[in-house]
Amino acid sequence: MTDVKNELNFSKNFYYQVAFILLFILIIRLFAMYFVPLMDTTEARYSEIAREMLSSHNWITLTHNNGVPFMAKPPLSTWLSVFCMQLFGLNELVLRLPSLLLSIAILWLVWAQARKQSGSVVALISIVFLAGNLYFYLNAGTIMTDSSLLFCTTLAMIAFWRSMIDPSKLWSYLFFIALGLNLLAKGLIGIVLTGLPIFFWTLIRGQWRALWHNLPWIKGSLLSLAIALPWYILAEIRTPGLINYFIIGEHFSRFYVPSWTGNKYGYSHAKPYGLIWGYGLVGLFPWSLVAGFWLLNHGKKLPSFLRQNDKGWLLYLLLWAYMPFLFFTFSRNIIYTYVFPSLPAFALLFAELWKRSGIREQWAKKIIYLSTLTAISFFVATTIFMLNPAKVAKSQKLIVSEWKKQPLSPSSKLFYWATRLEYSAQFYSEGRVLTTRNLYYLAYLFAVNPDSYLVIGASELPQLPRSFLAKFTQIARIELLEGTSLLFHNKDKIELANLDQWR
């Protein structure tokens, strides 16, 4: 009786401690979502794509750069951002809200599965692990397609397990719904990252008969296609070549051709083979350190844990956690977000091994201390971003904000003397920005848009003739992460008839 009472007291205290940490992390994330400006390139790009979809009412073709088709990603995350903007308006917090809500849904899925499988304490351990690692914190408030992908792969993996172990029509159809949504979240890669661990788990466990009987393969596959196929067909009709570029280019050439020149929207990330493992160690921090200590002290127990009669749960988690790492080991064109689909599996795996090792109360306190330190580090990082955005955030928000303070006319535009137009400038200016390195074209732009403004880096000012600069008045000097920028206003009209002097 005393043991039961102690267990209940331990669970209750641990619950309150975890709840406090999660609430603290949530509040920090909300502050960061509101105050941190949109960052170039990825976050600002998808924000601008969502803004253009909202203004054009074109729900099929994703566009950027004022109407240029963007064929690199499917639309699910953009749809979610646009839906939130329609409800709550246009700002950073609203655009980031889908990522936060999807992350909360992922935490719930992980908590519910761990609680059903191993009890409430293990469930709490799993979600404090997940919420308190670096990559999940980033994912929970950043505008990118990986948030949708992570939710869809997590739902698919948990739905499959539930369907195999405790057959349920609801979970079996949720599995196929998740597969269909995967195709709209990031394409075939979501199917691959769920299919590989499922295939090897079924192979090792010899579960082929259950695989066939427990899942409605015909109806379920039709359901998946009904969810995803209409968009692919309509998108190909409106933008011929989209499927070829997206399926062949983004799914194969991107990963296995290091110097792939077909990338329309960036550059190939030619990294060393196996770098995905380094990304994993960094992204799982600080829990990767805890895992290292666990392996030193309890690693010998792992084979016996795998032999336990758990219906293959531990094996399933190991395959789910490590299959993305194995898959991307021989790919050189990778970025850190490729670790994300493994995060829920590592959270469940960590909590399960913690339980089976018999290191309960003494390690529970250490987990709480470490989680608290992690939350505090998130708070410090967020505070730095809030207090010094120009020093740490790659964004054009400060420049555009200064421009918007001026007495703008409906025809006023913002012209950059630069080779590349940053997406954050497009977003914050609502598409009223252009860029050029051609003096004649710049003069033409000011001739047809006289009440406009010029942005140029202070170090690049000598590139423009003094006679040209004499037609402008400096309005502001803005310090950014990449250097000092100057904002000018066109005080003397440039005549179309006199453009030849700027050739």
Q: Among 120, 105, 209, which residue's Cα sits nearest to residue 158?
A: 105
- pLDDT above 70: percentage of residues in the chain: 93
pLDDT of 313 higher than 60 = yes
Residue 228 is encoded by which pair of tokens? Answer: 């995803």
Residue with tokens 């030619």: 270
Integer Cα distance of 269 and 265 in angstroms: 12
Integer Cα distance of 490 and 472 in angstroms: 5
pLDDT value at residue 269? 61
With DSSP H G I counted as helix, E B as strand and the rest as coil, what are the percentages for the chain, rounded to 5? 70, 5, 25
Give every CB contact of residue 81 below 8 A, 6+ residues apart in sequence: 46, 47, 50, 95, 98, 143
Query: pLDDT band for position 354 (50/70/90)?
Result: confident
Domain boundaries, the chain: 2-387, 397-502
Q: Among 57, 64, 101, 63, which residue's Cα sits nearest to residue 80?
A: 101
Question: Would you state the torsion angle of the CA atoms of residues 254, 256, 261, 265, taken in this order, to the nearest 10 degrees?
Answer: 10
Annotation: CATH topology of 397-502 = D-Maltodextrin-Binding Protein; domain 2 (3.40.190)
pLDDT value at residue 127? 95
Give the predicted TM-score (pTM) of the model.
0.93
Residue with tokens 């400038």: 425
pLDDT value at residue 2? 47
Which has the minimum average pLDDT: 328-342, 394-408, 450-464?
Answer: 328-342
Dihedral sign from CA coordinates of 475, 51, 393, 388: positive
pLDDT value at residue 289? 83
Tell me what the pLDDT averaged over the chain comes to: 90
* Alpha helices per DSSP H over 335-360: 343-356
pLDDT of 4 higher than 60 = no
Residue with tokens 């083979």: 273
Integer Cα distance of 352 and 160 in angstroms: 19
- Mean pLDDT over 314-320 rounds to 96
pLDDT digits (tens, 9 = 90+) for 414-455: 999 999 999 999 999 999 999 999 999 999 999 999 899 999
- Mean pLDDT over 246-258 rounds to 71
Integer Cα distance of 476 and 479 in angstroms: 10
DSSP assignment of 54-102 equals: HHH--SSS-EETTTEE--SS-SHHHHHHHHHHHHH-SSHHHHHHHHHHH
How far is residue 454 from each of residues 399, 424, 451, 468, 481, measured CA to CA in Å? 11, 16, 10, 12, 19
